[in-house]
A and B are shown apart, each in its own frame.
Chain A
Amino acid sequence: MGLLSILIFLPLVATLLILALPASAKAAYKYIALGFTFVQLGLSLYLYGNFNASLGGIQQLDAYQFVEQLAWIRLDLGTIGKLEIDYLVGVDGISLPLIVLSTLVMLMGVGASWNINKSPKGYFALLMILNTAVIGIFSALDFFLFYVFYEVMLLPLYFLIGIWGGERREYAAIKFFIYTLLGSVLMLLVIVGLYFSVINPATGAHTFNMLHMMNPANYVDGSFFAHIANYHDVFGIPARLVGFIVLFFAFAIKVPIVPLHTWLPDAHVEAPTPVSIILAGILLKIGGYGIIRVCYSIFPDIAADTNWWIALIGVLSILYGAFNALAQKDLKRMIAYSSVSHMGFVLLGIASLTAEGVSGAIFQMVSHGFLSAALFFLVGVIYDRVHDRYIYHFRGLASLMPKYTAYVAIAFFASLGLPGFSAFIGEAFVIIGAFNAESMSTGVPRWMAIGGSIGILLSAIYFLWTLQRMFFGQTRLQGGVAWQEALTDLNTREQVILFPVLALALLLGIMPSLIFGNLNASVLQLIDLIKPYL
């Protein structure tokens, strides 16, 4: 059992342990969860430290690291052929930073759930299952395995929102579940289609191995998704395009793009703070990761054809999300919409198909991962105290909660792309990459880059406006004296969680090479994979 498997299944051990303990050991659950996630973080950092940055990955199995391959399901299906499903996990420069991010955000999530009193056993057990699924998604290289983890992830989230959420939690949970399921069910169809189109060159059997799917030579001539000599179509649309669109749709719901984003604000607003943190910090990244790992790597030809549209969607998401964030009166909803806007940068960067843009997009994912987690955590702090987060109900919090204000201000400025913080590097390189796209003739015009940069301006507007409305000026609170007493400044636990995150944002903003270094080879490999089709 390799390190990666240990990383994936460690939380499952925690789940079993939590389930096995009697209810009288209630207080121990959170410590178990905390301990295990802490070990995970250490493990992932160890992996990160031992990563060989010169190996690219993407479509070459021998360039992946920490690979484990076991035959999982082997069935002889007679005339149809042999069913070949492997337990195949491994990491490259694109997935590893996201794994480290996941373990970090998970740790934050556990830290934020310190005050959960409603059936903690189920809560922490589900949280740990979610943890397994997430790490699994980022490291799976077999499409079937990927799909299994993808579905396993949905279930705990549904219950976490549906049971521990706010007033309209059932509505939000169902909306979230149905929306995501819709995407993944369609994805299953494409997976099966790909399975029948691709053979493993070594055994001659059909395979679910993603890496084999990335090599055009492995496609059976005349099969549904064949690279060359493909006459299949669906309603007149070429089969490969359909496959790409369906997969993109599945992941785009997760990202989320406009107009498939409406589950996000509802889910965020109703979810408890830790789940919001995990949703924003990890789940949205699965969308972006999926687009890179699956859509762009398996369908590079289509990716090269459609990137104009994808960039357009990205720019639309940026601007649309920002405008909506500006109109919000609920702080949490505002941050949810800002996530839509910031994830639009990821899409724009990926679609630019330049090394700068793609690296920027991945950097932006990592940076948005912990910054949005920090933002949701900060909203949670104020909601914990007075159970209200309506922006107009607060005024002049700076005099009342100076430390809290300082953290909020740093998080806001970091999110709006102040240089020195990580979000700036991500956004700036997405924009630079998008500008560069025209020089590399990847088909993304420059006005889109300008559109994206207007998004940066808009994000400054809504963050500063909120900052001014809630924190500055004379103190005036909706709840009067009762609130004034309830609104105590940050306690040590909260600071212990927030400080490392914001320090990390600063560290990555000053030394982006910490991520770019490991990322570079993989990104160049990806660009090389797509370049022939441009």
Chain B
Amino acid sequence: MLLPLLAFVLQAALGKKSISGNIALTAIIASTIISLFGVFLPIWNETTLLQKWTWFTIGEHSLHIGILLNNLTALMQLIVCIIALPVHIYSRSYMKGDPGIHRYWMYLSLFCFAMLGLTVSLNLLQLYIFWELVGFASYLLIGFWFTKESAVQANKKAFLINRIGDIGFLVGIGLVYANCGTLDLSVLFNPAEALLPSDKNTGWLTFAGLAFFLGAMAKSAQFPLHVWLADAMEGPTSVSSLIHAATMVAAGVFLLCTVFPLFNSTVLLVITLIGTLTALSAAVFALGQYDIKKVLAFSTVSQLGFMMVGVGIGAWDAAMFHLATHAFFKCLLFLCAGAVIHELAHFKAKTQLDIDPQDMRNMGGLRQIMPKTFICMVIASLSLAGFPLTSGYLSKDSIVISAYEWASQLGGVYLLIPILLIVVSLFTAFYIGRLIFKTFFGSFKYHTVFEAGTPFHEAPKAMLIPMFFLAAGSLFPLFGTSLTDYHSAWIIHALETTTTYPALASAHIFIPVILTGGAVLAWFIGWQWYVKEKYPLSANNPLVRFAYKQGYLDEFNDRVFVKGTVGLSRHLYAFDRRVVDGMTTFFAWFVRQLAVVVYWIDKYIVDGLVNLVAGTTYYIGHLVRHVQNGQLQNYLGFALTIVVLGILYLLIK
């Protein structure tokens, strides 16, 4: 864990001289090996390792820093390492030639250090420290191209919104400390110590739970604090894949899992509702995006919503499972997108075309040019959409099924939540299908330029290898032997949580069927819309004519559903931008205006009062200065007058 820190310090010291990133790479490789063999294998399902050192004493309490290794933390730390490693390798090629590359490696090492520190923290305060440090590293990386105005705006926004969450976290820490007198996780949640009240419905516990959730909401981009994540795509794509898809944004979920025993039913319900809302809204937003990275960003938000639901219904093992699988396939999606963008950016530089390399409307037909990237992307997409044989299938089902079981026990309106989740899953399948079709199928928009001999080829090896590795990780065998039953996945097995609701066997059958069937349908529709529609001209053979006829239906669909959906999603996106984002902007504006008003008051009223007092004193002094005219005899006369007046006063009295 300390290795990336060492790398950070070394690279900070070396400055511009270290451009290859070898130090960072070595460090992360070593970290991965240690975390796999030195930490994960011995800890997993075996013992809980606890090490602490006294950090400092304040008042009568001592604070310890230390390492807490149990199944949860060991898993999280392994995920971070395993995702960080391919991203490092990928970055070597992706960031090659950037003038600020030494900073890039420095920041990346800092991030890895902070993230690993976060995962193994023993103490809530220590957790908070690393929590903010990852935010800081993310701030640095989003604003990596600091001369770009939008990037600087984005990193500021990201840091500030995260700060809102941090305050929630800090408030939570304060409450826990005030009521339990310790922040040590191993002591706090030790049943033998009985620090937490047995009746969980006390006011402060609700408040503390909501405060922690606020922290997680900002970090894990939950509605309405998700606005920073889409903007955060201004950073390099490799960064987006590591930080804003796989690890940092999942830290919120990790935090909730860590402090899970604190939550009472009220807080859990809030978490579930917010999670569902996030999943739904983000999926709808994703439908209307043209920027390839923004589609993926909203997809991340939506999946994080799923994890939140998992925590909220008490199945945090399922949430962690989804976190693990999501880390693989989402990271892969970003890396593939990055490869496409990378090539398109080169293409743009070569041809001097004024195009946006991230806009999907400028892509298409890349399947023939970049077949390997295409395969990786498809695997990741299938996993995201939850097709059988992929890891996403297992983890997503686990959440939806748990949600259904949870809701069927409570009944009534609660059933809305699993239904909404299913709808979201279908949307997910649809938008990821749209992304694939738009990018890789159809024909390349600048075909003519391309055919003129401009080199445009598959991603380099250094980028492909990490992608293959992650693609392998997105399939089911890594997580469990069974194709269909998520209960046999080893993560679920080890994190076994006790849920209060009974398992429903029927749910295990019909929900996967609905999900898979729906996803297939969604892809099919997507195929029809985005691929077939592109070829209306070669109208002679019967198949295409049939497709052409289908086209009328397409147009109908287009007018009623697509336009409607797209319009709705545009409006919702506009709502997101204008109202939700606008509220942030308005608030910023309001705060600025308030600051101006307060400053005015300060200047004219508070300071004015001060000047008034000084002025009065000065004026009185001015009145009597005439006596001081330098005439000795006048002074004497004045003195005499005063003496005479004094005598007169004495006489009269």
**Do A and B assemble together?**
yes
Q: Residues of A with Cβ closer than 8 Å to B?
A: 175, 178-179, 259, 262, 320, 323-324, 326-328, 354-356, 359-360, 396, 398-399, 413, 418-420, 424, 428-429, 431-432, 434-436, 438-439, 446, 449-450, 453-454, 456-458, 460-461, 464-465, 468, 471-474, 511-513, 516-517, 520, 523-524, 527
User: Of B55, B59, B170, B177, which is within 8 A of A524 by CB?
Assistant: B59
User: Taking chain B's interface residues, is the majority helix, strand, or loop, or is none over half, making it mixed?
Assistant: helix
Q: Are B610 and A262 in contact (CB under 8 A)?
A: yes
User: Of A259, A360, A431, which is within 8 A of B170 by CB?
Assistant: A431
Which 8 residue pairs are nearest across A and B when measured between Cβ atoms? A355-B59, A435-B174, A513-B56, A419-B129, A327-B595, A326-B595, A472-B152, A327-B599
* Residue B164 lies at the interface, judged by CB distance under 8 Å to chain A: yes
Q: Are B174 and A468 in contact (CB under 8 A)?
A: no
| Bound CA–CA A449/B207 (angstroms) | 14
* Residue B348 lies at the interface, judged by CB distance under 8 Å to chain A: no
| Bound CA–CA A500/B547 (angstroms) | 73
Q: Are A450 and B132 in contact (CB under 8 A)?
A: no
Given contacts A355-B58, A356-B59, A449-B174, contact A320 B598 (CB under 8 A): yes
Identify 6 new A-B residue pairs, CB closer than 8 A, beyond the known A262-B602, A464-B156.
Answer: A262-B610, A359-B59, A396-B147, A399-B147, A428-B125, A436-B178
Q: Are B591 and A323 in contact (CB under 8 A)?
A: yes
The residues in B between 45 and 78 inclusive whose CB is less than 8 angstroms from any CB of A are: 55-61
- Please name all residues of chain B whose beta carbon is closer than 8 Å to the beta carbon of A359 when the two chains form the complex: 58-59
- Please name all residues of chain B whose beta carbon is closer than 8 Å to the beta carbon of A453 when the two chains form the complex: 167, 170-171, 174
* Residue B4 lies at the interface, judged by CB distance under 8 Å to chain A: no
- Please name all residues of chain B whose beta carbon is closer than 8 Å to the beta carbon of A327 when the two chains form the complex: 592, 595-596, 598-599
Closest CB of chain B to A315's CB: distance in Å?
14
- Please name all residues of chain A whose beta carbon is closer than 8 Å to the beta carbon of B513 when the two chains form the complex: none
Q: Which residue of A lies closest to B608 (CB)?
A: A262
| Bound CA–CA A394/B123 (angstroms) | 42
Q: Which residue of A lies closest to B140 (CB)?
A: A409
Q: Are A520 and B57 in contact (CB under 8 A)?
A: yes
18 of the cross-chain contacts (CB-CB < 8 Å) are: A175-B610, A326-B592, A327-B592, A356-B177, A418-B132, A419-B128, A439-B178, A439-B179, A453-B171, A453-B174, A454-B167, A456-B163, A464-B159, A468-B153, A468-B156, A516-B57, A517-B56, A524-B60
- Please name all residues of chain B whose beta carbon is closer than 8 Å to the beta carbon of A420 when the two chains form the complex: 129, 133
User: Of A354, A450, A464, which is within 8 A of B59 by CB?
Assistant: A354
- Most chain A beta-carbon neighbours within 10 Å: one of B164, B170, B596, B614: B170
User: Of B130, B147, B153, which is within 8 A of A474 by CB?
Assistant: B147
Given contacts A398-B146, A413-B136, contact A464 B160 (CB under 8 A): yes
Given contacts A453-B170, A472-B147, contact A323 B594 (CB under 8 A): yes
Q: Are A432 and B56 in contact (CB under 8 A)?
A: no
* Residue B389 lies at the interface, judged by CB distance under 8 Å to chain A: no
| Bound CA–CA A140/B613 (angstroms) | 33
Closest CB of chain A to B494's CB: distance in Å?
31
| Bound CA–CA A399/B99 (angstroms) | 12
- Please name all residues of chain A whose beta carbon is closer than 8 Å to the beta carbon of B177 when the two chains form the complex: 356, 432, 435-436
* Residue B149 lies at the interface, judged by CB distance under 8 Å to chain A: yes
Q: Are A516 and B599 in contact (CB under 8 A)?
A: no
Q: Are B598 and A324 in contact (CB under 8 A)?
A: yes
- Please name all residues of chain A whose beta carbon is closer than 8 Å to the beta carbon of B170 when the two chains form the complex: 428, 431, 453, 456
| Bound CA–CA A431/B177 (angstroms) | 11
* Interface membership of chain B positions 584-604, coded 1 if the CB is closer than 8 angstroms to chain A and 0 otherwise: 000010011011101100100
User: Taking chain A's interface residues, is the majority helix, strand, or loop, or is none over half, making it mixed?
Assistant: helix
Q: Residues of B with Cβ closer than 8 Å to A?
A: 55-61, 125, 128-130, 132-133, 136, 143, 146-147, 149, 152-153, 156, 159-160, 163-164, 166-167, 170-171, 173-175, 177-179, 588, 591-592, 594-596, 598-599, 602, 606-607, 610, 614
| Bound CA–CA A386/B120 (angstroms) | 48
Q: Are B606 and A259 in contact (CB under 8 A)?
A: yes
- Please name all residues of chain A whose beta carbon is closer than 8 Å to the beta carbon of B57 when the two chains form the complex: 513, 516-517, 520
Closest CB of chain B to A427's CB: distance in Å?
9
Closest CB of chain B to A534's CB: distance in Å?
15
Q: Are A355 and B60 in contact (CB under 8 A)?
A: yes
- Most chain A beta-carbon neighbours within 10 Å: one of B153, B156, B595: B595
| Bound CA–CA A520/B133 (angstroms) | 28
- Please name all residues of chain A whose beta carbon is closer than 8 Å to the beta carbon of B602 when the two chains form the complex: 262, 324
Closest CB of chain A to B5's CB: distance in Å?
11
Given contacts A398-B146, A516-B56, contact A418 B178 (CB under 8 A): no
- Please name all residues of chain A whose beta carbon is closer than 8 Å to the beta carbon of B592 when the two chains form the complex: 326-327
| Bound CA–CA A453/B168 (angstroms) | 9
| Bound CA–CA A432/B174 (angstroms) | 5
- Please name all residues of chain B whose beta carbon is closer than 8 Å to the beta carbon of A424 when the two chains form the complex: 129, 132
| Bound CA–CA A428/B598 (angstroms) | 27
Q: Are A473 and B128 in contact (CB under 8 A)?
A: no
| Bound CA–CA A355/B178 (angstroms) | 12
| Bound CA–CA A454/B146 (angstroms) | 28
- Please name all residues of chain B whose beta carbon is closer than 8 Å to the beta carbon of A354 when the two chains form the complex: 59
Closest CB of chain B to A9's CB: distance in Å?
34
- Please name all residues of chain B whose beta carbon is closer than 8 Å to the beta carbon of A456 when the two chains form the complex: 163, 166-167, 170
Closest CB of chain A to B11's CB: distance in Å?
14
- Please name all residues of chain A whose beta carbon is closer than 8 Å to the beta carbon of B179 when the two chains form the complex: 439
| Bound CA–CA A189/B160 (angstroms) | 48
| Bound CA–CA A429/B178 (angstroms) | 12
| Bound CA–CA A396/B55 (angstroms) | 40
| Bound CA–CA A428/B132 (angstroms) | 12
Given contacts A439-B178, A474-B147, contact A262 B56 (CB under 8 A): no
Q: Are B173 and A432 in contact (CB under 8 A)?
A: yes
Q: Are A460 and B160 in contact (CB under 8 A)?
A: yes
Q: Are A431 and B174 in contact (CB under 8 A)?
A: yes
Q: Which residue of B lies closest to A454 (CB)?
A: B167
Given contacts A435-B178, A436-B178, A473-B149, contact A457 B167 (CB under 8 A): yes
Q: Which residue of B lies closest to A354 (CB)?
A: B59
- Please name all residues of chain A whose beta carbon is closer than 8 Å to the beta carbon of B167 when the two chains form the complex: 453-454, 456-457
| Bound CA–CA A359/B61 (angstroms) | 12
| Bound CA–CA A262/B152 (angstroms) | 34
Q: Which residue of B lies closest to A429 (CB)?
A: B58
Closest CB of chain A to B551's CB: distance in Å?
48
| Bound CA–CA A458/B163 (angstroms) | 9
Q: Are A460 and B174 in contact (CB under 8 A)?
A: no
| Bound CA–CA A446/B177 (angstroms) | 13
Closest CB of chain B to A265's CB: distance in Å?
9
Q: Are B171 and A473 in contact (CB under 8 A)?
A: no
Closest CB of chain B to A452's CB: distance in Å?
10
Q: Are A419 and B132 in contact (CB under 8 A)?
A: yes
Closest CB of chain B to A28's CB: distance in Å?
37
Closest CB of chain A to B137's CB: distance in Å?
11
| Bound CA–CA A396/B147 (angstroms) | 7
- Please name all residues of chain B whose beta carbon is closer than 8 Å to the beta carbon of A396 when the two chains form the complex: 147
- Please name all residues of chain A whose beta carbon is closer than 8 Å to the beta carbon of B61 when the two chains form the complex: 355-356
| Bound CA–CA A446/B173 (angstroms) | 13
Given contacts A468-B152, A512-B56, contact A324 B606 (CB under 8 A): no
Closest CB of chain B to A63's CB: distance in Å?
18
Q: Are B164 and A457 in contact (CB under 8 A)?
A: yes
